[in-house]
Amino acid sequence: MVLELERVTVVSGGLTHLHGVDLRLVPGAINVLLGPTQAGKTTLMRVMAGLDRPTTGRVLVDGRDVTGVSVRQRNLAMVYQQFINYPAMTVFDNIASPLKLQKTNSAEILRRVQEVAAKLHIEPLLDRRPSELSGGQQQRCALARALVKRSSLVLLDEPLVNLDYKLREELRVELSTLFADGKTTVVYATTEPLEALLLGGYTAIVDKGRVLQYGPTLDVYNAPVNVDAAAVFNDPPMNMLTSELTGNGNARLPIGIDVPISRAAAEIGTCRIGIRPGHLRLAPHTPHSIAVPCRLELAELSGSETYLHLRTRDGGIDLVAQLQGVHQIGLGTQLDVFIDPDELFVFGADTKLVSSPEAAYGAH
């Protein structure tokens, strides 16, 4: 099934929630909508589902205009972050409910419920009621009810956000496996760049009601089209430094340090240099790594990672470094962090990407 949005806008209460969105999803793949809260992801999904009608524009399915077709007449399923199960029904009856509405025969209902329950590891729970389940089991029940319909389109609106980290990891893997056969077009909304990378497939970066970029997830991650796309597809956001070209193939950072840049970037004048937090290190990464003298302002421990909030000693520029492991460094400590010129992103004055790390690497 090919789902396509053409110049879709949504205006409500005097506010524009979507601005002329053009988007053609890759059929039979996981398509991630990645963006911050209130970026427009849920509005996009509601338009795709037929729950909301766009103010202007069209929704096409396999080339057919379905803009005015109600959700009941479409072959789709949707799961929200607030998973919903019928409390008076058993898990079996919850999962079977859409099939009963379709008047599927009892033998087929039994077969399909048991099949999807086995895939989601909830077969032993079929006789229980939702109140007897853990949060992860309840979400599996809600997912099973959506999947049992065998819809050609499945919309998942941050379905794992209310689960703990371990359960989220398990269900991500299960979802990728469930849809690996390519028979279902999946749309998965998330605010987390890491989740988009783990799911793979294709990613649309959504921000302020616009789709900034869409393509294979790794391609979008490795070459964000502009500064805004780079900010969304990075957590914490990419460090951005306004820089001037020196005329000899280098860019001068506002902290007085020159860094070599690619040939493609050497002719654009003023530019912005992007440095991923994970590419700031406490030791040289390559022989041509460059030291940046800093002072530690704040250190945050987050599981197996440490985030250092730094201020450069020359220029007073704030940087964030994302380090693997636990690092105990006293506040106010003077230290060097190292950047590798091969890992820099270069954006022009118009904020568009000029050079990615791959291009920079090829220039040396």
Tens-place pLDDT, residues 87-144: 999 999 999 999 999 899 999 999 999 999 998 889 999 999 999 998 888 988 998 9
Other C-beta atoms lying within 10 Å of the C-beta of residue 107: 8
Q: What is the pLDDT of residue 81?
A: 78
Identify the structural domains of the chain with CATH numbers, from first to last. 3-228 (3.40.50.300), 239-362 (2.40.50.140)
Phi and psi torsions of 51, nearest 5°: -75, -35
What is the rounded CA–CA span in Å between residue 260 and residue 248? 9
Least confident of 214-218, 285-289, 358-362: 358-362
pLDDT higher for 314 or 97?
97
Least confident of 127-136, 268-277, 317-326: 268-277
Q: Work out the angle between the directed axes of helices 91-101 and 106-119 (0-180°, nearest 10).
A: 130
pLDDT higher for 270 or 126?
126
pLDDT tens string 171-221: 888 888 888 888 899 999 999 999 999 999 999 999 999 999 999 999 999
Which residue type is seen at 153? L
Q: Which helix (H) or strand (E) holds 21?
A: strand 15-24
30-47 mean pLDDT: 96
Query: Which pLDDT band holds residue 360 (cuts at 50, 70, 90)?
Result: very low
Is residue 48 pLDDT above 80, yes or no?
Answer: yes
Which residue type is seen at 331? L
